[in-house]
Amino acid sequence: MCSPRGRSARSPRPWRTYWQTARGTEHRQMAADDIGTVGEYEEYEFPTSDAQARLLVLDHMDPGAATYHVPAAFVVRGPFDAAAFGRALDALVARHESLRTVLRTGPDGVPLQIVSTAGRVEPRVERDVPVAEVEALMHAEAARPFDVATGPLLRCTLYTVTDGSHRILLVAHHLVCDGWSLGVLLRELSAGYENETKGLHHTPPELPLQFPDFASWQRERQTAGEYAGSVAHWAERLRGAPEAVALPLDRPRGAVRTAAGGTERFTLPARVRARLAETARTRGGTPFMAVFAAYAAFVSRLSGSEDLVIGFPVSGRDRPELQDMVGMLTNTLALRIDLSGDPSYHGLIDRLRTALLDSQPYQDAPFEAVVNEVAPAREISHDPVVQVVFGYDDDTELTLSLAGAEVERAHVALDTAKFDFHLQVERWGEDLAAYLIYRSALFDTETVRRWVRCFETLLEQLLQRPQAPLSTLDMLPQDEKERLLAAPLRGAGNCATSPDEPAAAQQHSAAPPKAHLVPDLVANQATTRPEATALVCGDLRLTYAELLRRADHLAARLQAHGVRRGDRVGLLLPRGADMAVAALAVLRAGGAYVPLDPAHPAARLAYMVTNSATSLLLTAARTTGLAGTDVPELRVDEHPDTVPAFTPATCAPGDLAYVLYTSGSTGVPKGVAVEHRALHNLAVNVCPVFPVTGTDRVLQFVSFGFDVAVSDLFFPWVAGAELHIAQEDERLGEALQARLRDSRITYVFLPPSAAMTLPRSPGALPELRTLAVGGEACPAELVERLGEEGRRIVNAYGPSEATVYSTTADLRPGEPVVIGHAVPGSRAYVLDRRLRPAPVGVTGELYVAGATLARGYIGRPGMTSERFVADPYGPPGSRMYRTGDLCRVDAHGVLHYLGRSDSQVKLRGYRIELGEIEALLANHPEVTVAAAAVRGDGADQRLVAYVVGQDTAPSDEALRAHLTRRLPGYMVPEVFVRLPELPLNRSGKIDRSRLPEPPSSRPRLSESYAAPDSAAEQRVARVWQQVLTLDRVGAHDNFFDLGGNSVRLLAVLAALQEHPEYRDLTLIDLFRHPTVAAVAAHLDRTAGQIAPHEEAARRGSDRRAALHKLRSRKGTKR
């Protein structure tokens, strides 16, 4: 086609007039002066159709991509007349204006299609092509870019192959040809070839309408607003639909979607095709509906969603006059499919049939107009509205008939994808050919191949049991199921033992000898290494002999007070050596210890004491009476003159070892009861995973009320290592780094939020060999910052109900953050709602089983039976714990953590049931209903409460005070947001994804706003505004009432210390002075003149009161 030198518009054939006349009798009138002459050709311009304009935009976004190429390839055996084929192709081009069209942008930026009155597509001939090379050559030619501005947009290549056969490859651009058009072209090409080979000159009748006429008519209708009703129909159906289908991706989405793709082809044989047709007939539907319903069920199982939007193309040829038109008439429709209520296959076909028939009158709505209405703000990382597509064509088979020759269709797959996930089904002889087309940036080839097998399995199930609920149908092939169940049963994790040993280790850990329970193993260290250091806390340093002597001394006092096997003893003690010694003493006496945090509200402590049936409380001077109960107390800081004789208790593996309390969704905490067998497995079989050995120095970091404290105590003491207990002021930032460095710590467990406060100082901690992290999601940035040569970063996952650790993974910079494999003695399954193994890559709920399981919840038999269920894949009588965590297993058997299935969250190491917060908020007399959520990422995460008030919701201070009386500080929301109502999903439940981001305005406080006055106040206020993302901060506002926490206070400290005169400011100073005015006054008073005695006082023992508050707010516990 020649390049245009000039052209003018010619009027399109009046479309509306055409429909009112006898079809085919009125010829198109074209005035001579409406045509521009270009060499021997003439050209005229038309507006593009809506679909063409959209494709042009996509072409500009990814120029040169083959995404919108439409290829058709054939193998020809027997006589073939290439010249006759060329003449037939010429006739085809002459008949259809689309094949003589290019697309350009006009001077005003409006896209135009330029049609030439004449043109040719000269077949290119490749001769003597080896059989082994022809497929690759055809693939490359099919992907060769078009220049849409110069054309031609149809090309043909003929290959003469060395085996005597021929190949024919036709490639058109989707701008001028859709799938239906390809069928028209092949049909007319077959007829033209037959005439040419017979020497017949056959000129088909002129088409009454050409595609440019259709495009012009479509634009006229759009300008007149005639599509508004159809667009409104689809917009209404799509309102509130998920923004994207949550398919399980092998890789996260990039910032911009790409066209690179792959195709997996498989066959639905004739028998399956017949059964699909019969199933559809019984429901009054079509085979299209039957396959569509199967695909929807499959996508629902992959994504875990019952609310799907799946796109499907329609031909756009609802009038007979359009049947033979060649062009881009195809329109995409976005069908919202409801799979709620667990319908059967028959029921789903019925739903789909109803939805399709109801929407049939609105098929003319241009897809781009619907997108503009539904998703005006475009997200370029994924396609708007539709990411998953279904295409079906069983009416006609794409065939080419060449007189005297045997012609077979060849498959040419382009390495492109228009959408994330696309199932295309079409007739292929008596069978159906199916193609799963996918974006290779999101999915691996092996993943899609597995999914093909899953789809085939599910389809067979659907056809065999069409009346069964969809959830009862399996889609996992049997061999894949067996493979998935075999891997977690090994429980090998990163164990130092050989792969053949875990089974024996599990058996051993399930029933350890009575004389080798954890308290006995600690005593063995005192016998074999009496002078080795066991415990370091401040100035106190105990050898193993001294540790055991202190523990047995206290154990004797416990026995004298009536403690016997299985009795619960509460440890209401400050953080320090006494707490650690007391835990060992209780175990030596035969009891089970119950850690109680003195910072918790009295009502919460009293509930724990009562619920756990604690018979005795161990206290100190500062904690006596804090629980407010009549349970007897024994002071550990009082030393009687005479000590009764001590005989170590003989415990059984099934005896209770300890009880830990975690947040509960009903408004009260729940106590997890752990037996000695599970504690033994942790200390003996799980410890080597990290490992902790007798040469290590271990820093005990977390609160004693959290399960990691169990491993922090007994990993080192069973291994013979040194245990160091961090002081309250050594648990963040530079102070934490200094403690790790000065004590030459080799192993530490830190919540990621605490680890992220460590300064960027490569090489600053040369002795730190193992950094274990857990309790919350580990950011990849942590691995990049803290990973060093010779240091392991171990991501340790596990609920309290599975004795601290269930899985572990070694994390390395640049690799995905995963939770790895099951630890020794543990089994991990990812199961669906029917407790069937989820396919590789598909999201399911994580269940853990084995020797690590707790006994259950104290005094909560109903909750115990709900969460600890029978293990269908373990030994008879075994149980598994339903974690509520969503995970997937990758192709290598590695577990990936994806989030929660319920309202439980992990924040700065704490396990929090949002339901407990919501229940207590709703108990406030002025609150109607409430919701809680975590907002932000990493260290910027905040706990946010959303409150609907009866009249006017109470102030932040009133709500915070209401919760503080009942909840520990880490569970009190930092921000309160008032809403007129809570957003609900289609099931009437709180839609947490639609809870708004907290505003940046100053919270509602009882203290009226007072503007910062002095220069120091204004400087402090600006820092607070930046850290707390608030629009203003008052001089007398309390930092914590504004939503601050200890991590944010660390950011305030860093910002203020950038000013030379504030470099001596400490975190304790900020806790002591929690308002802008107080901080500013302190800065004015001490700037540049901090005396030595003031420094000593600031760092002295009187800081403990302020640090008590720090502990209650600090987000660093598991």
pLDDT (tens digit per residue) in 394-437: 777 789 999 989 999 998 988 999 999 999 999 988 999 999 99
Residue of 144, 204, 137, 134 whose CA lies nearest to 172: 144
Helices marked H in 542-628 = 544-560, 577-589, 602-611
* Cα–Cα distance, 751 to 1116 (Å, whole number): 6
Select the highest-mean-pLDDT range: 71-85, 387-401, 403-417, 767-781. 71-85
Per-residue pLDDT band for 910 (boundaries 50, 70, 90) equals low
Tokens 């990849």 -> residue:
780
Segment 971-994 mean pLDDT: 75
Per-residue pLDDT band for 665 (boundaries 50, 70, 90) equals low
Residue 835: Cβ within 10 Å count: 17
The two structure tokens encoding residue 748? 């530490």
Cα angle for residues 343, 344, 347 (degrees, 5° grid): 75
Provide the β-strand partners of residue 421: 388, 438
Residue of 1071, 1075, 1064, 1078 whose CA lies nearest to 1107: 1071
The two structure tokens encoding residue 1033? 């901060």
Segment 683-697 mean pLDDT: 94
**Between residues 804 and 509, which one has the greater pLDDT?**
804
Note the pLDDT of residue 429: 86
Give the CATH number of domain 15-215; options: 3.30.450.90, 3.20.20.370, 3.40.30.10, 3.30.559.10.
3.30.559.10
Instruction: Tell me the C-alpha to C-alpha distance, in Å, between residue 10 and each of 46, 98, 105.
Output: 8, 16, 17
Domain 1015-1113 CATH assignment equals 1.10.630.10: no
pLDDT at 739 over 60: yes
Segment 910-926 mean pLDDT: 77
pLDDT at 909 over 80: no
Give the 3-state secondary structure percentages of the chain, helix then strand then coil, rounded to 5.
35, 20, 40
Give pTM, 2 decimals.
0.74
pLDDT at 870 over 50: yes
- Residues with Cβ < 8 Å from 523, sequence gap 6 or more? 548, 588, 648
Segment 963-991 mean pLDDT: 75
Note the pLDDT of residue 495: 35
Residue 236: Cβ within 10 Å count: 10
- Boundaries of CATH 3.40.50.12780 in the chain? 502-777+858-868
**Residues 95 and 207: beta-carbon distance below 8 Å:** yes
Give the CATH number of domain 502-777+858-868; options: 1.20.1250.20, 3.40.50.12780, 2.30.110.10, 3.40.50.150.
3.40.50.12780
Please enumerate, as own/partner, the contacts of 956-964 that have beta carbons within 8 Å and a separation of 24 or more.
956/1003, 956/1004, 956/1005, 956/1041, 957/1005, 957/1006, 957/1007, 957/1041, 958/924, 958/1006, 959/921, 959/924, 959/927, 960/1041, 962/920, 962/921, 962/924, 963/917, 963/920, 963/921, 964/601
In one letter, which amino acid is 437?
I
- Boundaries of CATH 3.30.559.30 in the chain? 233-317+327-398+410-475
Note the pLDDT of residue 997: 83
Kindly provide the b/e burial profile for residues 491-529, where b requires at least 16 CB atoms within 10 angstroms of the residue's own CB: bbbbbeeeeeebeebbebbbebeeeebbbbbbbbbbeee
pLDDT at 630 over 80: yes
Q: Which range among 320-334, 372-386, 899-913, 1086-1100 shows the weakest confidence by mean pLDDT?
A: 1086-1100
Residue of 241, 260, 259, 257 whose CA lies nearest to 382: 257
**Between residues 41 and 678, which one has the greater pLDDT?**
678
* Cα–Cα distance, 222 to 365 (Å, whole number): 9
Note the pLDDT of residue 985: 56
pLDDT at 1009 over 50: yes
In one letter, which amino acid is 819?
I
* Cα–Cα distance, 378 to 374 (Å, whole number): 10
The two structure tokens encoding residue 589? 């006496």
Q: pLDDT above 90 covers what percent of the chain?
A: 56
Radius of gyration of the chain (CA): 37
Check residue 859 and give left, alpha or beta (phi > 0: left; psi -120 to 50: alpha).
Answer: left
Sign of CA dihedral 8, 9, 11, 12: positive
Number of helices (H), then strands (E), belonging to the chain: the values are 32, 41
Segment 576-583 mean pLDDT: 97
pLDDT at 956 over 60: yes
* Cα–Cα distance, 387 to 721 (Å, whole number): 55
* Cα–Cα distance, 490 to 502 (Å, whole number): 6
Note the pLDDT of residue 514: 53
* Cα–Cα distance, 8 to 4 (Å, whole number): 11
CATH topology for 904-994 is GMP Synthetase; Chain A, domain 3 (3.30.300)
Tokens 């669906």 -> residue:
832
In terms of DSSP bridges, do strands 868-870 and 879-889 run parallel, antiparallel, or are they unpaired?
antiparallel
634 exposed, middle or buried (CB, 10 Å; 0-12, 13-18, 19+)?
A: middle
pLDDT in tens, 198-221: 988 777 778 889 999 999 998 899
DSSP per-residue string spanning 461-480: HHHH-TTSBGGG---S-HHH
Q: Which range among 576-580, 739-743, 887-891 shows the weakest confidence by mean pLDDT?
A: 887-891
pLDDT in tens, 237-283: 998 888 889 898 888 788 778 889 999 999 999 999 999 999 999 99
pLDDT at 334 over 50: yes
pLDDT at 295 over 90: yes
* Cα–Cα distance, 2 to 859 (Å, whole number): 87
Note the pLDDT of residue 924: 84
216 exposed, middle or buried (CB, 10 Å; 0-12, 13-18, 19+)?
A: buried
pLDDT at 939 over 60: no
In one letter, which amino acid is 319?
R
Instruction: Tell me the C-alpha to C-alpha distance, in Å, between residue 131 and each of 138, 161, 166, 168.
Output: 12, 6, 10, 14
In one letter, which amino acid is 465?
R
* Cα–Cα distance, 176 to 97 (Å, whole number): 9
Segment 779-805 mean pLDDT: 93
Kindly provide the b/e burial profile for residues 882-915, where b requires at least 16 CB atoms within 10 angstroms of the residue's own CB: bbbbbbbbbeebbbbbbeebebbbbbbbbbbbbb
pLDDT at 897 over 80: yes
- Residues with Cβ < 8 Å from 481, sequence gap 6 or more? 836, 837
Q: Which range among 127-136, 142-151, 245-254, 335-344 shows the weakest confidence by mean pLDDT?
A: 245-254
The two structure tokens encoding residue 759? 């300064």
- Boundaries of CATH 3.30.300.30 in the chain? 904-994
* Residue 196 phi, psi dihedral angles, 5° rounding: -65, -40
Note the pLDDT of residue 951: 65
**Residues 738 and 618: beta-carbon distance below 8 Å:** no
pLDDT in tens, 1028-1042: 888 788 888 888 777
Helix (H, G, I), strand (E, B) or coil at 27: coil
Segment 942-949 mean pLDDT: 87
User: Before 152, cis peptide (omega within 30)?
Assistant: yes
Per-residue pLDDT band for 500 (boundaries 50, 70, 90) equals very low
pLDDT at 179 over 60: yes
Q: Which range among 101-105, 451-455, 520-524, 919-923 shows the weakest confidence by mean pLDDT?
A: 919-923
* Cα–Cα distance, 506 to 837 (Å, whole number): 22
- Boundaries of CATH 1.10.1200.10 in the chain? 1015-1113
Give the CATH number of domain 233-317+327-398+410-475; options: 3.30.559.30, 3.20.20.70, 3.30.460.10, 3.40.50.300.
3.30.559.30
* Cα–Cα distance, 1028 to 480 (Å, whole number): 50
Note the pLDDT of residue 983: 81
pLDDT at 63 over 90: no
pLDDT at 613 over 70: yes
Per-residue pLDDT band for 802 (boundaries 50, 70, 90) equals very high
**Between residues 1066 and 750, which one has the greater pLDDT?**
750
Per-residue pLDDT band for 1004 (boundaries 50, 70, 90) equals low
Residue of 916, 968, 923, 917 whose CA lies nearest to 601: 968
Segment 520-547 mean pLDDT: 97
Average of per-residue pLDDT values in the chain: 85
Note the pLDDT of residue 920: 80
Note the pLDDT of residue 948: 85
Segment 815-819 mean pLDDT: 91
